[in-house]
Amino acid sequence: MTRRATLTRRHTLGDQPPAFRSQTRGGRNVSQPVNHDFEWNRTLFSFLCRTPVGVCLLLLVLLSACGGPKPPVRGPNLNSDGDTVYDNNRGGGNDDATRISEDEVGYPTSPYDEESIDSQKLNVIDTYNSNLPGNLDWDPVFFNFDQSALTESARDKLSRYAQALKANPDMPILLEGHADTRGTDDYNLALGERRAQAVKRYLLQLGVPANQMRTISYGELKPLDPSKGETAWAKNRRVSFTF
């Protein structure tokens, strides 16, 4: 079969015949096969370089090829390892070396001692009493049923208390008004306040400074005797003194 017949047969079966380019080397013509893909790419590149749109497309391709992979974005809940597990040892140090003991910050390391605190309060009261004229006990003053007027016995006590308060102007005193359980809560609170104010007014008349005294009413909330009967009620109708 001749060469022409072979080429014709391949073309009939669907094969593209090879293309050749004629070049001159050393004074003679040399035929070389043509690469169609290369020729097409070169033609496309030449076309793109001649138009502004083509130049922009080439720049975009170059920039996308030069860009490296972006680092992963850490979310707000990621720790230094990139996961969501809390790092307990983020400082990298010794826990025992960085832990502050209770002694260093002043926390109590011994159990609560109620007796010691109560004794301290008593010592403070005893110190005040030792500085008062006559070493007074500061007993409450009592009132008649549903009354806020001072009795003669109450006036006698308050006269002695006034001398002690004037001798100790830096000692503030709290006048606590109380009532028995008869009557409503609101009424007894108001009655206790009237009794405390009556004591304060009398002490003011005797020369005790107003800024040295404060008043409060507990009504029937703090009975001196919680039992029922006239004896218990008489004890609860009172004004007591707290320093």
- Span 51-71, mean pLDDT? 68
Residue linked to tokens 């893909």: 37
Alpha-helical (H) ranges within 16-138 are 36-49, 52-66, 95-98, 102-105, 114-131
Which range is least confidently modeled, 6-10, 51-55, 76-80? 6-10
Higher per-residue pLDDT: 15 or 241: 241
Residue 60's pLDDT is 75
Tell me the residue type at 34. Answer: V
Lowest mean pLDDT among 68-72, 75-79, 98-102, 167-171: 98-102
Q: 36-49 vs 52-66: helix axis angle to the nearest 10?
A: 110
pLDDT tens-digit readout, 39-48: 656 666 666 6
The tokens for 54 are 């083509």
Please report the domains of the chain, with CATH numbers, ordered by start residue. Answer: 124-242 (3.30.1330.60)
Residues 161-169, mean pLDDT to the nearest whole number: 93
Q: What is the pTM of this model?
A: 0.48
Burial of 134 (0-12, 13-18, 19+ CB in 10 A): exposed
CA distance 142 to 240: 9
% of the chain surpassing 90 pLDDT: 43
pLDDT value, residue 12: 46
Does 215 score more than 80 pLDDT? yes
Which one has a higher pLDDT value, 98 or 233?
233
> For residue range 97-128, what is the model confidence (pLDDT) as tens digits?
444 343 443 333 334 344 444 454 445 445 55
User: Which range has the top average pLDDT, 33-37, 60-64, 124-128?
Assistant: 60-64
